[in-house]
Structure 1
Amino acid sequence: MLWFGRETASGIEIEAVCRPAQIAGADIFRIPPAAMREIIGIIAQHGWMIAAQVHSHPQHAFHSLADDKWAIVRHENALSLVVPYFAARTTAASFMQDQKTFKLTADNRWQELVVWELSKWLQIS
């Protein structure tokens, strides 16, 4: 899932979500070129950016080597949210507690946000 948004004075506000066509396997995922062109067209039309990606894992939430390599969002401070157990145990009420959030650093590393700093980067209302 991709979250599209725009920068505002208070941060990035999400305005739309997208479940793009994708090819996925045990340790790889990618968006085919035609689907990527469609995404680029949509965000250009609305003046949006890809602010975050959301995906799940079969067990615990963590950022795998494949997640690091194949991430769609590649700008500094981009977010990658990982939901455990293919989100089967997650509800709207438990989403924030269940997921783990990772932020892309200036040196292109995915850093897990600790609980006390999460609200600085992610607020869901």
Structure 2
Amino acid sequence: MLLRCPISLVDETLEILRAAGRRGTEGIVLWLARRPLGDGSLIAEAFVPEHTAEVDVFRIPPTGMTALMVHLKARKLALAAQVHSHPAEAFHSRADDAWAIVCHEGALSIVVPQFAKGVTAANFLDRSASFCLSPDDRWLEVPAHDLPQYLMLT
């Protein structure tokens, strides 16, 4: 499934991740799109859920999940992808697998390295690592040459 994301929301996402990095923690941003999700869905909002974070992990508590569900219902949105930062390399860790918020087949999880330091909208796709949830519930890395089938910056 192809998602389209405005450059302005990539910029907003990166600033949120950098702010978390300045605090010494991972950052998390959820990309929301109009329902129903489908091929070509446009990301409409960068949403920061209630969460706790440390240098190498984030968690969204039950109250944060409830608030997210209320927000999604009220705005007629769906959770399309998650974007979070790591302190060093961009990869999908065991914690990322266990605490992933997006859980539908084809969902995207994007990991931004170095707490997003030096990452811009122009180099976002090159610097980040992108993962897609497979039919058998595994996060598979999307090779750079295949990424345009999953995500387009507009």
* Pairing 1:84–2:131 present: no
Unaligned runs of 5+ in 2: 1-28
Match of residue 110 from structure 1:
139
> How far apart, in 1, do the equivalents of 2:70 and 2:100 lie?
19
Match of residue 104 from structure 2:
75
> How far apart, in 2, do the equivalents of 1:23 and 1:60 lie?
21
25-34 vs 82-91, which moves further: 25-34
SS in 2 for 1:13: strand
Conserved 8 A contact 2:55-2:87? no
Match of residue 66 from structure 1:
95
- 1:37-65, Cα deviation, whole Å (9 max, x unpaired): 11101111222111100001111110000
* 1:79–1:8 CA distance, 2 compared to 1 (3 A): closer
Q: Which has the higher contact order (CA 8 A, sep 6+)?
A: 2
- 1:59-86, Cα deviation, whole Å (9 max, x unpaired): 1110000000100111101100001101
- TM-score, structure 1 length as denominator? 0.92
Q: How does 1:15-34 map to 2 (within 5 A)?
A: 15-34=44-63
- Counting helix residues as a fraction of each chain, which structure ranks higher? 2
How many residue pairs align between the two structures?
125
Pairing partner for 1:4 from 28, 32, 37: 32
Kindly report the root-mean-square deviation, in angstroms, between the aligned alpha carbons of the 2 structures: 1.5
SS in 1 for 2:88: coil
* Pairing 1:54–2:83 present: yes
> How far apart, in 1, do the equivalents of 2:72 and 2:146 lie?
28
Pairing partner for 2:65 from 8, 32, 36: 36
Letter in 1 for 2:51: Q
SS in 2 for 1:123: strand
